[in-house]
Chain A
Amino acid sequence: MILPEIVLASPSPAAVPGAGIFTSPLILSLTIWLPVAVAIFMSVIPNPRNRYDTVMKQIAFFTNVGILFILFVAYNQFQTFLPTVQYEEKLPWLASIGATYHLGVDGPGMTMMMLSGLIGLTSVLASWGVRERVRSYFCLLLLTQAAVNGAIAAHDMFVLVLFWGAAMIPIALLILGWGGPRREAATWRLVGYWGLGTAALLVAIMTAYAANGGGSFDMDVLLKATLSPRVQLAVGAALVIAAATRLPLFPFHGWARDVYSEAPLGVSVVVAGSASRLGAYLLLRALVAANPAAARLLAPFVAILAALTIVYVALVVIRSVDLRWAAAYLSMVPGAITVLGLAALTPLSIAGSVLSTFTGGLAAALIVAAAWTLTDRAQSRSLQVLSGLAPRMPILTWILVIAALGLLGVPLLASFPAEAMVLFGSFKTQPVGAFAVVAGLVLTAVALAALVHRVLFGQPNPDAPAVSDASLGETWYLGLLAGALLWVGLFPGGPKLPGTDQTVFDPGLLNVMAAGITDIASPYVASTTAP
């Protein structure tokens, strides 16, 4: 059932009945500015003696439900046969330097928006236990979501860098204010690495802007300009650094362990699920789609980064003594697979990378959230203490197993088609990188199996503190992530009426995703068919 869907995912966008009936020029702006407006509203309404803390949570929750609904309408109405940008909005912003408020999404962008919507809702649910300064927390969480949505929807490099940089500030404050004991170190590492990435992104954009004559930051102009190979290479290298700090990739991963283990759960979910995926999205949008010469030249290095990351993660997890740290490192695996697909530069691997960005976001958020919840419920993070928890934590056992399988890409989960497409598409053009990544995946599987066996199915530790299973609320947010992984894994092309090819309710992530990939992959078609 899955393999035909994979074949369909190669760039051959097809029409989905019922799409394109509803469209609005404000859909993308709503997903950015609605959370900002709600955050401002929440920050000014009176909250004497924190009496309305629950109301604040509810406001944040329903805002995210609303955003997800808007995004689902956009997703449902997305015209999959059109390779162009849809839901476009364009207004002059800083006209004298050529910056415009230009938003729009193609297939990969729509996929990312759906990921961000799902992760946003999950993060609010995962933050339900926050008790201190509830109003500030949810305001910052909404601002984070707005910034991530803005960076995805941006079709102007100025808008992209604006939201890319803006995402760092609320996340840093959330970790500083609500993080664990080592929150200071986590925050400054995040600011340092992400700041370096933002600086690299700005240098890349400005270099391309100057080389193009300085007329415009619009992606339609800037990314389609003919730049000299030398400039393309400089821009490409800076973009790789920017992406590697965000995803993260070895050796730019210094923030990941501290942030994922010290940040509050909701923030970890956002960072692992959507904010860090922006790195892969940037590589796709600004390097692979725009600078073919640089992409080809840098491809081996990018593939090496992916391979190093995955092997490094496996080795660290094998030696890890802290479950949250192990989960933090494991959350880097999907990013490495995504990047391998982008380095391979074949239509199939690029399509796989786009799908992997979505599934990787879900899987990374799930493993981080599952580990966080489990360590919270077990009152310990130490792998020397956590052992044989399955009988006492049946729900969390299931979730952790699904998360582990999701990372490894087993059939029936969404990450399977993604990883299959990336690997099938990569062996031809990046055999060494692909082989190293597969070897790393095998090592990771071994490390994960040992971890899961010890924590869940090993001998129970009689000296361990009392444990309890996930509460109903925790089951909801974990189930949402796991359910999304399962849904896309079972119906990558959307659920179909029996005996027909017509999709019902969900046009299929693969169909939506494929729109736009034709354009992105077109420079690389010849190179893959050449003898």
Chain B
Amino acid sequence: MRNFVLVPEALVVAGALLLLVMARARRRPRRWLPPSAAALALVALLVELWVGGTLATLFGGALVQDRFALFAKAAILLAAGLAIAVTDWSDEDAPSIGMAMVLLAAFGVMVIASAGDFVGLWAGLELAAMAAVVLVSTRRTDLGLRLLVVGGVASGLVLVGLAFVYATAGSADLQMVRKGLASESATLPLAIPVLLLMGGLAVRAGLPPFQFARLPVGLGASPLGAGMVIGLVGAAALVVAAKLSASLVPVPAVYSPYLLVVAAAAMVGGGAAALATRSPRARLAYLAAGQVGWIAAGLATHYRTGLGASLFLIGAFAVAATTGPAVMAGADVGEFALAGLSMLRPARAAGIALVFLSLAGAPPLAGFFGEFAVGAALAQSGNLWVLALGLLGGLMSVAAALGTVRAIYLQSPPDESRRAAGARLPVLTRLSTIGAVALCIVIAGYGLFGNPILGLADQGAEALGLR
């Protein structure tokens, strides 16, 4: 079974390369391509669930297959598959490249999930981010360039931080770093690089107040491109943060207070901004930013329950934030464009509604279960003030999400002349309908059948050495 551990990665990379070759060979993609790409992600997910339970160390410890890797890979493959399925491919500028980039970004996260050292973490993060740059550039090169620059700054911060931590701990191996730091005390020279490192990851994850650099990109890109930036790249950064925080656990004082403050600001700021904006995609981006705050708060608890809860929430976040813009497709130019969508595209409308409510943390959807688990960890660690602020942000987020749900379900569709002015109705295909239904089932079922999922996330946190 050990030999099959890398089969999911191989499938994803092979699929991405094949799609790139096909994009080079012909401009118009065939109709069977999106279902095939979604099926490939699904097959990779099934293989991962089948063989991923095998514990293995590969390439001399560079890649580690443990429960953490299994959880993160499964979540990201699910998000990628659903995103490909629900995307309105007629609204994407380069469908083959788009599918390839989604798969490559998913591969980047898979590398991070299995990474045993700093190199793997950095390489996976860069791969996911570069895939997003390419996809964004297919529609708006200026935004692609902007994302590249912002990503470069983030990458620089991460690299500097990693280099200093390496210098302090004497190793780039995550387990060795953990052991090395056990004998270190929390000093300012260690805190500063960790601060830079976390800052770089915060830029990548879109954690407020660092999301301002990335937000225009998320708003101007194609729907799938926005999903990549907000969801997949954010999830990649969060998985890196989870692995790093587990390694830094011996010296929590160097990152925990800082992360708690940023998390609290993100939870409240995300909710308030989501309430203030009327644009559906901007609202989704802010709701996602608020949920990133919850994930960061869980990581800051530096306990197994907190990290397990954060990992559980990363799964819910990855699915909702990646598929959210894609499932809205062209109907995201304004709230009026979503009006009455439940009558015209019922499955897609349900998917959008559940994505918004889940990102807002409304019960009984995936986001609520994750945020509740994080809340429990915060209470256990004595950070009730962060929990209280998070609940305030959550309240504003739910109110904001209700505004979008109202437009979808309770308003009449706009007339065709207004729709022609920019609010294009997503094309109805069998794949998009199946994808939207599957998305609804995943978001509703993630929490309702949360025992094995949270159990696996908890084992993932344990695999990182937390108790």
Binding site for B on A (CB under 8 A): 43, 92-99, 133, 136, 158, 161-163, 165-166, 168-169, 172-173, 176-177, 187-188, 191-192, 195-196, 198-199, 202-203, 206-207, 209-210, 214
Checking B363, B364, B387, B451 against A206 with a beta-carbon cut-off of 8 angstroms, the contacting residue is B387
Q: Flag whether B305 is at the interface (Cβ < 8 A).
A: yes
- Chain B, 384-427, CB within 8 A of any chain A CB: 384, 387-388, 391-392, 394-395, 398-399, 402, 405-406, 409-410
Task: Tell me whether A209 and B450 are in contact (CB under 8 A).
Answer: no
Task: Tell me whether B410 and A133 are in contact (CB under 8 A).
Answer: yes
**Bound Cα distance A93, B455 (Å):** 10
**Bound Cα distance A172, B395 (Å):** 13
Residues in A whose Cβ lies below 8 Å from that of B368: 162, 165
Q: Flag whether B308 is at the interface (Cβ < 8 A).
A: yes
If A162-B364, A214-B376 touch, whether A96 touches B458 (CB-CB below 8 Å) is yes
Task: Tell me whether A158 and B372 are in contact (CB under 8 A).
Answer: yes
Task: Tell me whether A206 and B375 are in contact (CB under 8 A).
Answer: yes
- Counted as pairs of residues, one from A and one from B, with CB atoms less than 8 Å apart, the total is 113
Interface-central residue, A43, A98, A198, A206, by most chain B CB under 10 Å: A206
Task: Tell me whether A169 and B450 are in contact (CB under 8 A).
Answer: no
What's the nearest-Cβ distance from chain B to residue A178, in Å?
8
Q: Flag whether B378 is at the interface (Cβ < 8 A).
A: yes
If A173-B409, A176-B406, A195-B398 touch, whether A209 touches B364 (CB-CB below 8 Å) is no
Task: Tell me whether B373 and A94 are in contact (CB under 8 A).
Answer: yes
**Bound Cα distance A97, B405 (Å):** 31
What's the nearest-Cβ distance from chain B to residue A296, in Å?
24
Binding site for A on B (CB under 8 A): 305, 308-309, 342, 346, 350, 357, 362-364, 368-369, 372-373, 375-380, 382, 384, 387-388, 391-392, 394-395, 398-399, 402, 405-406, 409-410, 450-451, 454-455, 457-458
28 CB-based A-B contacts, threshold 8 Å: A43-B346, A94-B372, A94-B454, A96-B455, A97-B305, A97-B376, A136-B342, A161-B363, A161-B372, A162-B368, A162-B372, A163-B364, A166-B362, A166-B363, A172-B402, A173-B410, A176-B406, A177-B406, A191-B398, A195-B395, A195-B399, A198-B391, A198-B395, A199-B388, A206-B376, A209-B380, A210-B379, A214-B380
What's the nearest-Cβ distance from chain B to residue A177, in Å?
4
If A93-B451, A97-B309 touch, whether A199 touches B402 (CB-CB below 8 Å) is no
Residue of A nearest to B401 (CB): A169
What's the nearest-Cβ distance from chain B to residue A152, in Å?
16
What's the nearest-Cβ distance from chain B to residue A458, in Å?
40
**Bound Cα distance A411, B412 (Å):** 51
**Bound Cα distance A378, B199 (Å):** 64
If A94-B450, A95-B455, A172-B402 touch, whether A162 touches B373 (CB-CB below 8 Å) is no
Task: Tell me whether A169 and B402 are in contact (CB under 8 A).
Answer: yes
If A162-B368, A206-B379 touch, whether A169 touches B395 (CB-CB below 8 Å) is no
**Bound Cα distance A520, B406 (Å):** 42
**Bound Cα distance A207, B363 (Å):** 20
Residues in B whose Cβ lies below 8 Å from that of A192: 395, 399
Task: Tell me whether B395 and A196 are in contact (CB under 8 A).
Answer: yes
Checking B382, B387, B458 against A203 with a beta-carbon cut-off of 8 angstroms, the contacting residue is B387
Residues in A whose Cβ lies below 8 Å from that of B387: 202-203, 206
**Bound Cα distance A99, B451 (Å):** 9
Task: Tell me whether A203 and B384 are in contact (CB under 8 A).
Answer: yes
Residues in B whose Cβ lies below 8 Å from that of A165: 362-363, 368
What's the nearest-Cβ distance from chain A to residue B330, in Å?
24
If A176-B402, A196-B395 touch, whether A207 touches B379 (CB-CB below 8 Å) is yes
If A169-B357, A173-B406 touch, whether A94 touches B451 (CB-CB below 8 Å) is yes
Residues in A whose Cβ lies below 8 Å from that of B398: 168-169, 191, 195
Task: Tell me whether A173 and B402 are in contact (CB under 8 A).
Answer: yes
Task: Tell me whether B388 and A209 are in contact (CB under 8 A).
Answer: no
If A93-B451, A173-B405 touch, whether A209 touches B395 (CB-CB below 8 Å) is no
Checking A98, A136, A188, A207 against B399 with a beta-carbon cut-off of 8 angstroms, the contacting residue is A188
**Bound Cα distance A214, B303 (Å):** 12
